[in-house]
Structure 1
Amino acid sequence: MPGSVTQRQIARTVLVERGIARLAELRNAGVTAATMSRMERDGEVMRLSRGLYQLADAELDTNHSLAEAAKRAPKAVICLVSALAFHGLTDQLPRHVWIAIGRRDWAPKPDGTPIRVARFTENLLNEGIETHTVEGVPVKIFGVAKTIADCFRYRNKIGLSVAIEGLQEALRQRKATPGEIADQAERGGVGTVIRPYVEALTANG
């Protein structure tokens, strides 16, 4: 039917522009859920999770899971081990995408890429954010110094060794200065925790 063809063209255009699109975005562009179901059935699109679509022939970035998480939780910020991995500061391949959300924000439903949630106060959630584009999707990710400080704050969840590895790599690769890390650590209330590690690593060159 001509209408379906037109809707498919619109859907492809939206998905090319945005990389990943929510059903609400496609509906706003004039595409029905039925059209998306037919496109999925015909192998034109992939349904990543409920109401989240991508073209089947789209080139997947190594950080694809971060783009998917950003679409599922638009207010969230990629944090902790996932942010360490994005910045090249750990050899770990996180099985989950770590996201930071506010104390009262809704967590995304368990569907698609596994997500782990860390709840931040508004002050800590809204600082040190960088925006990177992954597969056409703007993804909010904490910067290096902020990520290191957060890893020490959440060391009981991710492991102290992971936090130390991130700190060591950040200093070795010169992706953050000791001063920047110390400043973020003070803001996050872990200044006294992180200081001995910074001093030991900088003393050893």
Structure 2
Amino acid sequence: MCGESALALHDLIDDIPAAVHIAVPRGTRRPAISYPPIVVAQYAAKTFDLNIEQYEAAPGEFVPIYDAARSVVDAMRHRNRIGQTLALAALGRYLRTSGPDGVGNLQHIARELHALSVIRPAVEAVLA
């Protein structure tokens, strides 16, 4: 899971997504299912596995999901698509709840995704 679904599961936004947001490596077949509604994002194969963790959706049923820091970086990268207000709200909540390593984790992921130019000024603005 990724995008708004991951942000919601990490309690970084209050919104309930209207669809399940999933990610697939770029160049692979996009799944087509009728229910639940899905939004498919394609990420570069090189960084697709970056910061994936397992979320227990039901007892014994695990779903791969991007961790909170990766979800925030992706939200900021795609803020024009998901909305700047939602992305900044997620960033602000992440920074308030992530502890002393939060900014460092964001910077590490942003560096890997070539998004430091987006994350650095946003973090500075939220923390100011």
CA–CA distance in structure 1, aligned partners of residues 84 and 67 of structure 2? 19
Structure 2, unpaired ranges of 5+: none
Q: CA deviation at 1:92?
A: 0.8
**Quick one: distance in 1 between partners of 2:43 and 2:35?**
23
Partner of 1:119: 42
Mark the structure with the bigger radius of gyration: 1
Confirm or deny that 1:144 pairs with 2:73.
no
Structure 2 match to 1:181: 106
RMSD in angstroms over aligned alpha carbons? 1.4
Residue 99 (structure 1) shift? 0.7
Q: Report the structure, 1 or 2, having the larger helix content.
A: 1
Distance 1:123 1:160 in 2: 26
The residue identity in structure 2 corresponding to 1:196 is P
In the superposition, the TM-score normalised over structure 1's length comes to 0.58
1:90, 1:98 → 2: CA distance? Answer: 14
> Is 1:170 the counterpart of 2:94 in the alignment?
yes
The match for 2:23 is 100
Q: 1:123 Cα shift? A: 1.9
Q: Deviations over 1:137-161 (max 9, x none)?
A: 2100001111111111222221111
Q: Is the aligned partner of 1:110 residue 2:48? A: no
How many residues of Structure 1 are paired with residues of Structure 2 in the alignment?
126
Asked which structure has the greater RCO (Cα within 8 Å, sep 6+), the reply is 2
Q: Percent of pairs identical after alignment?
A: 35
Name the aligned partner's letter for residue 95 of structure 2: L
Moved over 2 A (4+): 200-203
Q: What 5-or-longer segments of structure 1 have no aligned partner?
A: 1-77
In structure 1, what residue type is equivalent to 2:76?
A: F
